[in-house]
A and B are shown apart, each in its own frame.
Chain A
Amino acid sequence: MSASIANSQQPPRREIDVSALPKTVFGSGQSILWWGTMGMVVIEGTFFALLLASYFYLRTRVTDWPPAQTVPSLNFGTINIAIAVLSLIPNYLAKKAGSSFNLAGCRLWLTIMSLISIVCLFLRWFEFSSLNCMWYDNAYASVTWTILGMHTVHLITDGFDTWILNIMMFTGPIQGKRFMDVSENALYWNFVVLAWIPIYLVLYWAPRWL
C-alpha cells in the first residue's frame, strides 16, 4: 500500500494542469466569497427570524397590541421601504457592471447606491420617532425597537461597505477581486431589502391587523 501519494518521487506522474483556470468568477455558489456572503446572510436571517418569532410570542402574552399605545405612523417607514425596493434596480445594474468588468459602470452605480444608503439611513432616523413608543415603555416597544435597530445596523454596515468599495473603485488599485466584491456587495444589499419587507409588515402593519 502506498502510504503517501503526495511525496512520491517516481516520475512520470500524470498531471492535471490547472494553470489556465480563471481567477475571477461570478456564478452563484462558485466563488468562496459567495459562500462567505451567504453564510453571513443565513446567520443574520436567522437573527431576524428569531426576533420576529419573539415578537409574535410576546403578542400572545397581552390582550392589546400595541398595549396602551398608538400604532406606528406609516409615513417614513413606507417611503423608506419604497426607496429600498426601487434601489434594487441600480443595485442590479451595479452587480451587472461588476460581473462584466465595467469600471465606469461600477463607479456610477456604486455612487448611486452609496447615496441611497445615506437617504435610507436619514429616513430611518425618523422611523424611530414614528414608532410612537420608547423601548423602555413595555415589551412591545422593546421588541419593536430592537427589530428596527437590528435592521439599522445592517443599513449602516452595508452603507459603509458600499462607500469603502466605491472609494476603492476610484482610487485603485483595481484587480479582478474588486469586481467580485462589487457583485457580492450587491448580493448583500438584496438581502437587506429582502429582510426589510417582513420587518416592515410586522412593525407597521401587525399592530394594525392583530
Chain B
Amino acid sequence: MSSQPQREMNSESLEPRPRTPMSDAEARNWLQRTWDDGKGFTSWFQQVHHTVIGRRYIITAFCFFLLGGLLAALMRIQLSHPENHFLSPDFYNQVFTMHGSTMMFLFAVPVMEAFGIYMIPLMMGTRNIAFPRLNAYSWYLYVCGGIMLYVAFVLNTGPDVGWFAYPPLSGPDFSPGKRADFWAQMITFTEVAALAVAVEIITTIFKLRAVGMSLNRIPLFGWAMLIHSFMVIFAMPAVALDSSMLLMDRLISTHFFNPAEGGDALLYQHVFWFFGHPEVYIIFVPAMGIVSEIIATFSRRPVFGYPALVLALVANGFVGFGLWVHHMFATGLPMMGYSFFTAASLMIAIPSAVQIFCWIATLWTGRINWKTPLIFVIGFFAIFVLGGLTGVMLASVPLDTQVHDTYFVVAHFHYVLIGGALFPLFGGIYYWFPKITGRMLSEKLGLWHFWLFFIGFNLTFFPMHILGLKGMPRRVYTYLPQNGWGTMNFIATVGALFMTAGVLFWLYNIWTSYRRGPLAGDNPWGASSLEWATNSPPPIYNFDELPTVNSRTPLWTATAENPVIRGLRIDDREVLITRVLDAEPDHINSFPKPSPWPFWSAMATTALFVGSIFNGYALYIGAIPLAFTLTMWFWPKKHEIALEEAEGVRR
C-alpha cells in the first residue's frame, strides 16, 4: 500500500516531466489503446465513452419518437370521422396518455440530452464527458424506464390519465389498478437519468473546455445546453417529487391530494407545472442552440449579437420558472395571481423575439448556403412564430378560460414543440449526421422529408385551432356528426399521413446514406466549432491533439501559431481540467475506465423502482443490491490505481 502522500503538494515546486518524442501515428496508437473500451458482448455493458453512449441515447430517443408517432397516427385514424369505432374509449385513453408521456419524457428531453452528450465534449475540445460512468448509468435507467412503460402498455396496463396525471382522476379512488403507478414510476426513471446528465454537462462545460475557450467564447449550443442543464436541475425535482407524492397517495395511503383529509389536488398542479412550464424551455433551449449553430454555419459568418443571444437564453431560463400558473387559469386563483402570471407570460416573448431578430440579422448579412439543415431552421421560424403568437393569446386569462382544454391548446403546443424543437432537431440531424457517421445525408431526400413534414404538419395542426374555437375538447375519443367537426378532423388526419410519409423519407435517407452516402470528411459544412476539428466519425479519444482556441469561431480563425496541449499521459486516460471563467489549464484528472457496475447498478435501481410499485418492502430489500453495486462501482481497483500513479508515457 502506498501511503505516501502525493508529490504535487504545492504548485510552486512543479517541474515539467520528461516526455517521449514520437510520431503522430505512434501517439494515435497509444491513445487508441488507452481510450478503447473494448468490443464484444461483455464490453458492450462496460463502455463509457460519450460518443458511444451518446449514439445509444440518440437511437433510443428516436425509437421512442417513432413509437409516440405511431400512437399519434392511431389517434388521427380514430378521429378522422365522427362516431368511429377503430379504438375503444379505454384504449384511446391509454393511447393519448402514452403518446404525450412518450414524447415529453422519453423523447423530447432525452433527445436533447443525447445530442448534448455526443456533441458537448467535442465542442469543448476534450476527450470524454465528465462522470462517464454516471452517463452510462443514466442511459440504462432511461431505457429501463421506457421499456417498463411499454411492457405495461402492451399488457393493457398503460397509463390512461393524461400525460400530467392530475389527481383526483389519477388518485387511488378513481384509478384503481396499476396503470397510474407505472406512469409515476416512469417519471422517476427518466428524471434520475436526466438529472445525472445535467450534472455531467454542467461540469463538462465549466471544467473541461479547451484552453482559451473563456466563457464568452463557448459555442451557443454549449450555452444552450448549460442553461438547459440548470433548468433540469431546478425543475425535474418538482415532477419527481410530485409523482412520488402521487405514488404514496396511491400505495401507502398518504393524503397529499385528498381534500377529505386536509390535502389538496391543486397542490399537485402547482408542483407539476413548476416543472411543466420550464420543461417546455428545457426542450426548447437546446433547440435554440442548434438553430444558432446552423444559422452561423450556413450564413458563413459568426452569429450576430452573441451576447444578446446568450442573455436571451439566460432570461428564458429565469422567466421560465415564473410562468407555471398560466396552466392553471381555469382553476380559480386570486386575481393578483392572474395578473402576475399573465404579465410574466407576455414577457417571455421578449427574449424569444431578441433571438429571432439576431438570427434574421445573421442571415441578412451572411452569404447563405441553402442546405437542408438551414431549410429546417427556416421551417422552424415559420411555425414557431405562429406557435408563439397563440401562446401570447393564451397568456390572457379571458381567452384562456374560453379555449381551456380544447384543441386550440393542442394546436398551440404542437406548434411550439414541433415547430420550436423538432424542426431544429431535424436540422441538427442533417447538420451533425456527417460528424457522427462520417457520411452525408442526401439533400434531395432531405427536401422531400422537409416539404412533406412541413405541409403535413400545418395540415394536421392548423385546423385544430379552428376545432378548438368551435369547442372541440381535448382527449375525447370520438364526436357526433352534428358537432360539425368532421371536415377539419379529416383534414388533420390527411396531414398526419403526409407527416408519416415525411418521416419515412427521413428514415430511408438515414438508412441509405449510412450505408453508401458520400464521405463527409472532417468539416463538410465549413463550420467553426471544435467538433469539426477531428475526424468524422471522431476517434474514441476525440482529438489527436487537444486543441486550443483563440476566438468564438476557432476553426475560422485558427493559425499555425495556435498552440497544442502537450504533456498529458497517453497511456492513461488523462484529461486536462481548465478554469471556469478563462479556461486556463488548472489540473489533470485520470478519467474512469470501463466498468460493468454502472450497468449492474442500473439493474438494481430498476428492480427497486419496479418492485416498489407492487410492494413497499421492495424499497428496503432492493436497497441492498443497489448499495452493493454502487460500492463496487466506486471501489478503487488496484490495477487502475497502479496505472494512474505510474510515471507513464507523456507526449
* Residues of chain B within 8 A of A47, CB atoms compared: 237, 240-241
Q: Which residues of A contact B130 (CB under 8 A)?
A: 32, 35-36
Q: Report how far A9 CA is from B270 CA in the complex, Å.
A: 59
Chain B residue contacts of A7, Cβ below 8 A: 522, 533-535, 544
Name the A residues within 8 Å of B577 (CB-CB): 31-32
Given contacts A5-B558, A15-B566, A18-B588, contact A136 B252 (CB under 8 A): yes
Contact B237 A21 (CB under 8 A): no
* Closest Cβ neighbor of A19 among chain B residues: B567
Given known contacts A13-B563, A32-B203, A23 and B8 CB-to-CB distance under 8 angstroms:
yes
Set B6, B203, B241: member contacting A36, Cβ < 8 A = B203
Q: A136 contacts which chain B residues (CB < 8 A)?
A: 252-255
| A6 smallest CB distance to B (angstroms) | 5
Which of B259, B526, B560 has the most chain A CB atoms closer than 10 A to its own CB?
A: B560
State which of B207, B262, B576, B650 has its C-beta within 8 Å of the C-beta of A138.
B262
Q: Which residues of B contact A43 (CB under 8 A)?
A: 195, 199, 233, 236-237
* B29 CB–A CB distance under 8 Å: no
Q: Tell me whether A176 and B587 are in contact (CB under 8 A).
A: no
Contact: B587 with A21, CB < 8 Å? yes
Interface pair A46/B9, CB less than 8 Å apart? no
CB-nearest residue of chain A to B637: A173
Give the docked Cα–Cα distance between A14 and B559 (Å).
11
Give Cα A15–Cα B211 distance, bound, in whole angstroms. 12
Residue-wise interface mask of B (229-240) relative to A, using a CB-CB cutoff of 8 A (1 in contact, 0 not): 000011011101
Kindly specify which of A51-59, A85-93, A109-117, A122-130 makes contact with the partner chain.
A51-59
Size of interface on A: residues with Cβ below 8 Å to B: 68
Q: Smallest Cβ distance from B591 to chain A, in angstroms? A: 9
Q: Mark A1-15, 1 if CB is under 8 A from B, else 0.
A: 111111111100111
B533 & A174 in contact (Cβ 8 Å cutoff): no
Residues 145 to 186 of chain A near chain B (Cβ within 8 Å): 145-146, 160, 164, 168, 172-179
A139 adjacent to chain B (CB < 8 Å): yes
Q: With both chains docked as a complex, state the minimum distance between the C-beta of B57 and any C-beta of chain A, in angstroms.
A: 19
Residues of B within 8 A of A (CB-CB), count: 97
A119 CA / B271 CA spacing, docked (Å): 35
Q: Are A67 and B262 in contact (CB-based, < 8 A)? A: yes
A46 and B233: CB pair below 8 A? yes
Give the residue of B211, B555, B635 whose beta carbon is less than 8 angstroms from that of A16. B211
Docked complex Cα distance between A142 and B203 (Å): 36
**Does B157 have its Cβ within 8 Å of any Cβ on chain A?**
no
Contact of B17 among A19, A25, A42, A62 (CB under 8 A): A19
Within 8 A of A (CB), among B1-35: 1-3, 5-6, 8-9, 11, 14-17, 19, 24
Evaluate whether A8 and B560 lie within 8 angstroms (CB atoms) in the complex, with A18-B567, A23-B588 already known: yes
Whether B198 and A39, one on each chain, are in contact in the complex, defined by CB atoms closer than 8 angstroms, is yes
A61 CB contacts on chain B under 8 angstroms: 259, 262-264
B256→A25 contact, CB < 8 A: no
Q: A3-B555, A42-B233, A160-B627 known; A16 and B548 CB under 8 Å?
A: yes
Which of the residues A4, A9, A172 comes within 8 Å of B3, measured between beta carbons?
A: A172
Task: Evaluate contact between B17 and A14: CB separation under 8 angstroms.
Answer: no
Instruction: Please state if A176 and B556 are interface contacts (CB–CB under 8 Å).
Output: no
- Is A58 within 8 A of B264, CB to CB? yes
Binary contact track B220-254/A, C-beta < 8 Å → 1, others 0 = 00000000000001101110110001001100111
For A67, the chain B residues whose CB sits under 8 A away are: 262
A40 interfacial by beta-carbon distance below 8 Å? yes
Q: Give the residue name and chain of the A residue nearest to B638 (CB).
A: A173
A148 → chain B, closest Cβ, in Å? 13
Partner of A24, one of B8, B256, B566, B585: B8
- Complex interface: chain B residues within 8 A of A39 (CB): 198-199, 202-203, 233
Residues of chain B with a CB closer than 8 A to A31's CB: 577, 587, 589
Given contacts A20-B14, A32-B203, contact A6 B547 (CB under 8 A): yes
| Cα distance A72–B211 in the bound complex, in angstroms | 56
Is A143 part of the contact surface with B, judged by Cβ < 8 Å? Answer: yes
State in angstroms the CA–CA spacing of A10 and B545 once bound together: 13
Residues of B within 8 A of A175 (CB): 2, 6, 636, 641, 644-645
* Contacting residues, chain B, for A160 (C-beta < 8 A): 627
Cross-chain contact A21 with B560 (CB below 8 angstroms):
no
Chain B residues lying within 8 Å of A140, measured Cβ to Cβ, are: 262
Q: Whole-angstrom distance from the CB of B146 to the nearest CB of chain A?
A: 22
Chain B residues near A15: list those with CB within 8 A: 563-566
Tell me the smallest distance from the CB of A43 to a CB of chain B, in Å: 6
CB of B617 to closest CB in A, whole Å: 15
Q: Of the candidates A17, A32, A46, A168, which one forms a contact with B16 in the assembled complex, judged by CB atoms under 8 Å apart? A: A17
On whether the beta carbons of B587 and A54 are closer than 8 Å, the reply is no
CB within 8 Å of A: which of B148-179? none
B442 on the A face (CB < 8 A): no
**In the complex, how many angstroms separate the beta carbon of A195 from the nearest chain B beta carbon?**
13
Tell whether A178 pairs with B543 under 8 Å between CB atoms, given A21-B588, A54-B271, A136-B254: no
Beyond A35-B130, A101-B5, A175-B641, whether A30 also contacts B587 by CB under 8 A is yes
CB-CB under 8 A from A29, the residues of chain B are 580
Flag if B522 contacts A4 (CB, 8 Å). yes
Would you give the shortest CB distance from B571 to chain A, in whole angstroms? 13
Are the C-beta atoms of B568 and A19 separated by less than 8 Å? yes
List the A side residues contacting B15 at CB < 8 Å. 20
A-side contacts of B8, CB under 8 Å: 21-24, 176
Say whether A164 contacts B567, CB under 8 Å.
no
Contact assessment for B261 and A139 in the assembled complex, using a CB-CB cutoff below 8 Å:
yes
Q: Is the CB of A143 within 8 A of B256?
A: yes
Bound Cα distance A46, B535 (Å): 41
Residue of A nearest to B645 (CB): A175
Contact B555 A5 (CB under 8 A): yes
Task: Assess whether B562 is interfacial by the CB under 8 Å rule.
Answer: yes
- In angstroms, Cα B14 to Cα A186, docked, is 28
CA distance A21 to B588 in the complex (A): 6
**Interface check A201, CB cutoff 8 A:** no
Q: Does A50 contact B (CB under 8 A)?
A: yes
Contact A146 B587 (CB under 8 A): no
Q: Is the CB of B202 within 8 A of A5?
A: no
A103 at the interface (CB under 8 A from B): yes
The interface residues of chain B lying within 8 Å CB-to-CB of A101 are: 5-6, 9
Residues of B within 8 A of A135 (CB): 248, 252-254
Q: A155 to B158: give the CA distance in the assembly, Å.
A: 36
- Residues of chain A within 8 A (CB-CB) of B198 are 39
Bound: A160/B629 CA distance, A: 13
B329 contacts the other chain (CB 8 A): no
Q: For the complex, is B437 an interface residue (Cβ under 8 Å from A)?
A: no
User: In the complex, how many angstroms separate the beta carbon of A59 from the nearest chain B beta carbon?
Assistant: 9
Known: A35-B203, A175-B6. 20 other contacts (CB 8 A): A5-B555, A7-B535, A13-B560, A16-B548, A16-B567, A20-B15, A21-B586, A25-B586, A29-B580, A32-B207, A36-B130, A44-B237, A58-B263, A136-B255, A137-B261, A138-B261, A139-B255, A142-B249, A176-B8, A178-B636
12 A-B pairs in the complex with CB atoms less than 8 angstroms apart? A16-B548, A21-B587, A32-B589, A42-B234, A54-B256, A54-B267, A57-B270, A103-B5, A135-B254, A172-B3, A174-B2, A175-B645
